[in-house]
Chains A and B, each alone.
Chain A
Amino acid sequence: MSTEALVDQIRAIAEQYPERESAIMPALHIAQERYGWLPPEALCEVADALELTPAYCKAVASFYDMYHLRPTGRHLVEVCTNVACALVGAQQVVEAFEAELGLRAGETTEDGEVTLRAVECAGGCGYAPVVVVDHRYREPVRPENVPAIVEGLRRAP
């Protein structure tokens, strides 16, 4: 997608809001889909499209957990570590992923395949602990399920 197309798409969405700046969240999602994360130039493009400042876009993007201000791997594993999940062993799930992938939460494997993140509430408290793999929920996930998940990612196209 070209910069012009991105800006046009964001402006079209902004039309649906009474205040242009209310479109910031979907706009950031669109930009993130294009780049895989939100580099400074993406924030500048969103700002340009919505006539906001890049600083304002950065403020919003850095507040929410679902926007990535650093590059991510080809696959994304997000483990919810908020209260409900933490009470039923989310920390152990994070540690299992860390061991299996050989990294710390927040990092990406050296081959650029998988990024592991500990995130805020994913909204699946009834099925805790929740793990979000490439935007799909797996729940509940126990440490013993982790090797199979990672194996699946390694084999995925």
Chain B
Amino acid sequence: MSTPELVTVTIDDRAVQVPKGTGLVETALAAGVEIPVFCYEPRLGPAVGACRMCLVEVEGMPKLQAGCTLTAQDGMTVRTAQTSAKAADGQNATLEFLLVNHPLDCPVCDKGGECPLQDLTFRYGPGRTRMTFPKLTFDKPIPISPTIALDRERCILCYRCTRFSEGVSEDGELVTVNRGAQSMIATFEDEPYRGRFSGNVIELCPVGALTSTQYRFLARPWEIQNVPSVCGLCPVGCNIDVTTREGKVKRVLSRNHPEVDEGWLCDKGRFAFSHPHARDRITEPLRRVRRRGFEELSWDDAVDEAERMLRAAGTRIVTALSGSETIEQAYALGKLLRQGLGAHAAVLPEETSTALDALRLPLSAIRDAELVVVVGDQPVEERAPVVDLWLRAARRRGAEIVTIGPTGSIQTPPGSAPQVCRDLAAENNELGRRLRGGQRSIVIWSGPDGRGGEHIAALAHALGLADVAGSGAFYLPDTPNGRGVADAWSAVADGEPADPEPIALLIVSGDEAAANPGVRALAERAEMVLAITMFQGLAVGWADLVLPGTSYLERDGTYMNLEGRVQRLRRTVIPPAPDELAWLAKLAGRFGVELSPHPSLVFEDVSARLFGGLAFADIAATAALPTRAKAAPRPPLPEPEPQLGGDGLRLLRYRSLFSGAAVERVAELQFQRPAREVEISPEDAAAKGIASGNEVAVRHNGTSVALRATLNRRLAPGVVRIADEHAGDLGARVEVGRA
């Protein structure tokens, strides 16, 4: 790449050299000068110059200029309010104007204390008003969704929120209605803002116009702490700041990791934080008595009981993992069971593979790609939402994004992704040829049955992507830390897992494992069950001993995200029960296994085996991505799956982003959960005489589920789509008819 031309700009008599075209706000920053802004936010696309806060005097231009809309040109001489009376005057007038209708209700405003309007008024504002007429008033606050409240009186019409909705998440749900002085931010009629990323507008708002309903009136900025951590609800691992007050989580904010999330956060990550306070949270160990009855027991008794169960079971133990444990927890469990008892059998949360390590890229590389091909049965936004934002950013930059699947831009039947990989790898495939010849080609597997990334790695190798720096491959796993858990478990010992029969003890680690039908089936066959879960609804009733689990917000430790990046979770609040490591260490001692209760020391142990001795303390707040592995395995291209025969429509089940134990326990997120509906292609709907909104019956083998039909133009004919939680026991082939 050629080095960009440097230009010299003089700002407030300070000369600074920057690459030509650098924004003037950034140029000034490089010179140590602040140009204050409200509407300017480079992540939202080109500057709009809406708020006029950035007025500067530019030599040779007769009128004051909106600094944010200018870029650095050679010889430019700029004066900000610091050295230009004219600019200071302009800025003063701008602020006076912005405050004409602003209610100045700062004492009761959530934004007060962390508000750009307050701060800039303090530094640049007039301090008194000449306006004596009444201010405009509106109904307030208006709930634009159950999670976001809008106060139109406070709005300064900077258009950050609507630009986000139009140009970043591209949901088009939040808009400006009316014109001029009557302009206001609105959704359509009384519809809630339903996007997957809506919460970002709260953080973007430079005043208190858009506030979080969960955080409303709960804290003042000077009595809170922000703890840097990582979201534990999907495999992206967005960096977050967790706001706590008096030992409770009050909100979650994004924390910009430029390679992972660019400062965006999905609504699940942002709003699901209240799940640790759910009513059915387990805070004491529980032992089953008689049939379905339960009694609490002390921690000492619980550890004794667990020891007794482990001794009785010996090697005949199966451990079912969730993929939401920290690397340290999984390693600790493995150490206790594998080293202490020789019990090697485990149900891992999902298949994992090291094959993609040779094709590693930061997620931000998607934005810079020329051509991205996404294969698989599930939409990216349901599995790894922020990846969807990177794809949209790439498309806006001119990249071509091709999705191949049942809801893709190229429609294929469910289960055809292995065949698609083979086709793309073939010499004569046009799309494959372009991927092969490109300098920035990326392939992504989004859906189940990807063999932990092996299939997409095989395609990427066949296309030669491992040898091109800007090209690579991603796999979107099911669980937030499935790879970390699997790697940690296998790093503990070399013993061969032999499936015990009968199973003497099933250990269920985590709520996801407890909700897994496969694990429940194992529990039926096990003589004893020990579960580690957070919530009553899951294992209580069939586990003999339940030990309280913790949330990702309550743990110190590490997760490995889908890129292969090891990131730090921090304990943001103290859990209501000892965390897993504390009692695992105690239990391990009874079996002669040395295990520290401190995550940093456990990590040291893991790191020596898995991460080349990376020190816990060296994992940066914005963690680095390891370089590409040279020796990763090169799997063969996948064998095509036989297409499912039979009559009727092919049922495609999907797991909605807004599902799972955490989301189910957050009242404000209920409106986001998938509706009781079946998506059907317009072709199939017409053939069956079904219109959008009709009540229909979906039948399979004697079972029938009543749902509302909704037409999905992007869905391949012959396929219907239903969210997992509404699909019941329906099989792969279904009949759909008017109810």
A-contact 0/1 string along B146-166, CB 8 Å cutoff? 000000000000000000001
Within 8 A of A (CB), among B248-273: none
Residues of chain B within 8 A (CB-CB) of A40 are 188-189
Interface-lining segment among B169-177, B398-406, B571-579: B169-177
In the complex, which of the residues B166, B171, B173, B177 contacts A62, with contact meaning CB atoms closer than 8 Å?
B177
Beyond A40-B189, A43-B188, whether A56 also contacts B177 by CB under 8 A is: no
Indicate the size class of the contact surface on chain A.
10 to 19
The A/B interface has a contact count, at CB < 8 Å, of 37
Asked whether, in the complex, the Cβ of A53 is within 8 Å of the Cβ of B178, the reply is no
A-contact 0/1 string along B585-629, CB 8 Å cutoff? 000000000000000000000000000000000000000000000
- Asked if B65 is an interface residue, CB under 8 A from chain A, the answer is no
Question: Max chain B CB contacts within 10 Å: which of A40, A43, A52, A59?
Answer: A59
Indicate the size class of the contact surface on chain B.
10 to 19
- Asked if A117 is an interface residue, CB under 8 A from chain B, the answer is no
Within 8 A of B (CB), among A46-65: 52-56, 58-59, 62-64
Asked whether, in the complex, the Cβ of A56 is within 8 Å of the Cβ of B189, the reply is no
A-contact 0/1 string along B180-195, CB 8 Å cutoff? 0000001111010000
Residues of chain A within 8 A (CB-CB) of B130 are none
**Closest Cβ of chain A: how far from B185's Cβ, in Å?**
10
**Closest Cβ of chain B: how far from A23's Cβ, in Å?**
16
Question: Max chain B CB contacts within 10 Å: which of A43, A53, A56?
Answer: A53
Asked whether, in the complex, the Cβ of B178 is within 8 Å of the Cβ of A55, the reply is no
Residues of chain B within 8 A (CB-CB) of A43 are 188
- Asked if B179 is an interface residue, CB under 8 A from chain A, the answer is yes
A63 to B182, CA, bound (A): 10
Closest to B692 in A: A48
In the complex, which of the residues B175, B178, B179, B191 contacts A56, with contact meaning CB atoms closer than 8 Å?
B175
Question: Max chain B CB contacts within 10 Å: which of A40, A53, A54, A55?
Answer: A55
Residues of chain B within 8 A (CB-CB) of A63 are 177-179
A60 to B189, CA, bound (A): 14
A64 to B186, CA, bound (A): 16
Closest to A54 in B: B188
A53 to B177, CA, bound (A): 13
In the complex, which of the residues B171, B176, B179 contacts A53, with contact meaning CB atoms closer than 8 Å?
B171
Asked whether, in the complex, the Cβ of B189 is within 8 Å of the Cβ of A59, the reply is no
Asked whether, in the complex, the Cβ of A52 is within 8 Å of the Cβ of B177, the reply is no
Asked whether, in the complex, the Cβ of A55 is within 8 Å of the Cβ of B179, the reply is no
Beyond A54-B188, A55-B186, A55-B188, whether A62 also contacts B172 by CB under 8 A is: no
Asked whether, in the complex, the Cβ of B178 is within 8 Å of the Cβ of A62, the reply is yes
Which 4 pairs between the two chains have the least Cβ-Cβ distance? A59-B175, A53-B172, A55-B188, A62-B177
Given contacts A56-B166, A59-B177, 10 further A-B pairs with CB under 8 A are A52-B172, A55-B172, A55-B175, A55-B186, A55-B187, A56-B172, A58-B177, A58-B186, A59-B176, A62-B177
Q: Chain A: residues with CB nearer than 8 A to chain B? A: 40, 43, 52-56, 58-59, 62-64
Q: Chain B: residues with CB nearer than 8 A to chain A? A: 166, 171-179, 186-189, 191
- Sample (6) of A-B pairs whose CB atoms are under 8 Å apart: A52-B172, A54-B189, A55-B191, A59-B176, A63-B177, A63-B179
